Structure 1
């Protein structure tokens, strides 16, 4: 990029490939690449499936897209380190044993990361001059400034004419069988099925015993970190 700076870079971002092949060095390099792009002065946004299928007129505008920030990527970097150390999702609350599998991707990743926003891969758009981009919020199913005791996703995302809540891995909550909702940080829609798990998770979260709820200190204050 230093020798041949491009105005726009559109890429498929696929950390799921090295994850599934246990290539941890390559997995970390995917995060470092995005950090380098941001440090080079680019603005990076996540092109969600609903945006990829958007078909504006030639003189129209693109929909708002969530921004990938260095603060988000700090969580991606931390999670890769935890995977490398075989500590992702650890320690697990004792009462979860037998109910939930540990060290699961995406369920045990940070909900403040970019990686939590997709199952295997996503598309990203980096722009040196962001005039063509319409910025929305920041990536992440939880906000970077949400408190560490928040577990369930409450943020809604617009798709067509409807608002939806998505769980870990960008799995739509209300299309999900209730037995999987709590594990994906989705609100429980059938208390007979997942009400006990919901109460268990809320208690563990309030007590600070959910490892993936960790919050990293913000070390930077540049525009791309906000």
Structure 2
């Protein structure tokens, strides 16, 4: 016959085991929910030319393919029209809008492009200033664009800054094309007092000439 004290110990052990099992189940559920949320933000794998609204042309795709990248996984980002609407309403600066974010099959970042207001005008009073070919930190290039909207958001005080990160390492010319093509899509959906005058990509960075092995220098 079981003693009263032994029965108490047995009941306590059972209660502890049940609590541990429930905690384990709850933890797995939370992890699963997190994975599900992450999966919802990622699209199916596509060809590079199909990503980010078609800003990657065949020449950029060919450069990326030489680096071993021809298919990518787009991560949820804003369309140019959505970003333009958000930028037009903002009364502060520094809020970033992801316009393009690409990963490989292992979930590693390949390339991304975002835009935000910065609290300074385009230097020299220019309409647009591009900076490519001289990576700074994690940035492969940037494009500052004048887009005055009203008395508060004037082109003399603010600019739109498009920033590109690139782990694929396509050429500076391709960086210029991506930045300019994306910026055009955004500003065309904004009521800029004067539409920006974008330069030709080849005037920002020359078209690269492949070497005898078909490789293109950045």
Q: Scaled by the length of structure 2, what TM-score is found?
A: 0.23
Higher relative contact order (CA 8 A, sep 6+): 1
- Rg larger for: 2
Structure richer in strand, relative to its length: 2
Q: Scaled by the length of structure 1, what TM-score is found?
A: 0.23
